[in-house]
Structure 1
Amino acid sequence: MITTKFNGNQYFSLDKNIIETHIDNKWVIAFVTRQLSFKEEDRLLPDGTIVKVNDFIDDITPQEIENGTKTVKEYCLANKNENLYFEYLLAISQEDEKLNVLKEKKKYEIQTKRDEALESGLIYNDHIFQTREKDKQNIIGAATNLMFDIQSGTNSISEIIWIDINDEKVTFTPQDFLKFASSVAYHTQEIIFRANALKERIEQAKSEQDLEAIVWEE
């Protein structure tokens, strides 16, 4: 069950308001699958009355905290609110841990930019072609069949018609289609290499200022 490490409050499910409350108070969220520990004590009220209360004993384990953080991350990813996850991490982190959290956040931002670039399309001969993963697989498959046809000597394929992003038919000669497929492969490789280089710079960053200087240039 979702549990506040500070006071033992428990919740059946996680939502944005609960996470924001923990961010505001810098409270740690744990995920506990056992009964919590309480100690009965006498407490003196302002009017002089003594009452018995059950005080929460904070025996939350590191594993339960790790499971709580994982639950927060899963919720935020499922609801496309990754920034909320990083806000939570920063709120509960010690000062000497915050740079690592900021590095994780920056790497996520670079990964997002990389994925957007990989799927944003490729301009070839004044046409924009889709470069989603399934599109690249189709291009590779067509290029492979074309190479087999050329190598076999049959040369039965005289042209290939491909559809650009605007659903316009584009006619390729066999050689030009192979150049097109090579351009798609190079485009993909260049984006991946650029992202990896930025991630290496993130790992080597020594300060928040170093991280701010690392940006994905369009």
Structure 2
Amino acid sequence: MIIDKRTLTGQGENINIAIINFAIENNTSLCLLDRFLNEDEDGKKIDDITPEEIENGTQAVKEYCLANKNENLYFEYLLAISQEDEKLNILKEKKKYEIQTKRDEALESGLVYNEHTFQTREKDKQNIIGAATNLMFDIQSGTNSISEIIWIDINDEKVTFTPQDFLKFASSVAYHTQEIIFKANALKERIEQAKSEQDLEAIVWEK
């Protein structure tokens, strides 16, 4: 059962967006209990909620938000229930999540090479690396049986590469990936070193 920590009232059996918004508006934690609260002699509920039950509620909120691709709602909830001295760390986690999202978008947004845009999703990069590896083996063996490689750009147009140019293309993809990852890591390092909310606001992902 979901219990509102402030009023000790039940909020149903399962987390949903209405309950989370209620908690945010009232700055109250949602606790997950598998029991009824104890009562005093007058029948008034006793706040004997354990830290584990509070943590279980927070975890339930997190799982709901992740399942519904609403991570920002989760961070709003954390900020609403946290003490002032905890909020900077939560804002740091939120900022790192934002940077991670930008990083993933950049990694999959494609790469322009010789006026063609090529897909750079993880499976695409694996295919490029595989083709480049086979090509290198062919060159090193002296067979030179591969005279050209045809690759498909993001618009499904066939692009013909010479062996050497394809290796340059594969190298560009690897460098593109490395550059984005290094950029994200550098921003995350700045986030860790931030001393205030203003410091965090100054950290942005620039294209």
State TM-score, norm by structure 2.
Answer: 0.96
- Offset, 1:151: 1.1
Deviations 1:144-195 (A, max 9, x none): 1111111111111100000000000000011110110111011001000100
Structure 1 stretches of 4+ moved >6 Å: none
**Corresponding position of 1:83:** 72
**Corresponding position of 1:28:** 29
For the residue of structure 2 that corresponds to 1:55, the secondary structure is coil
Conserved in 2, the CA contact under 8 Å of 1:102 and 1:208? yes
- Offset, 1:10: 4.1
State TM-score, norm by structure 1.
Answer: 0.91
* Distance (whole Å) between structure 2 residues aligned to residue 200 and residue 33 of structure 1: 41
**Corresponding position of 2:131:** 142
Conserved in 1, the CA contact under 8 Å of 2:32 and 2:54? yes
Identical aligned residues as a percent:
80
Instruction: Map 1:47-86 onto structure 2 (within 5 A).
Output: 54-86=43-75
Bigger radius of gyration: 1
Conserved in 2, the CA contact under 8 Å of 1:159 and 1:174? yes
Report the structure, 1 or 2, having the larger strand content. 1
Q: Report how many aligned residue pairs link the two structures.
A: 206
**Corresponding position of 2:4:** 4
1:167 aligns with 2:156: yes
Conserved in 1, the CA contact under 8 Å of 2:96 and 2:191? yes
Task: Give unmatched runs, 5+ long, in structure 2.
Answer: none
- Offset, 1:3: 2.2
* Distance (whole Å) between structure 1 residues aligned to residue 158 and residue 76 of structure 2: 47
Instruction: Map 1:32-51 onto structure 2 (within 5 A).
Output: 32-41=33-42
Deviations 1:22-81 (A, max 9, x none): 11111101122233222230xxxxxxxxxxxx2221111112211211111111111111
RMSD of Structure 2 on Structure 1 (CA):
1.1
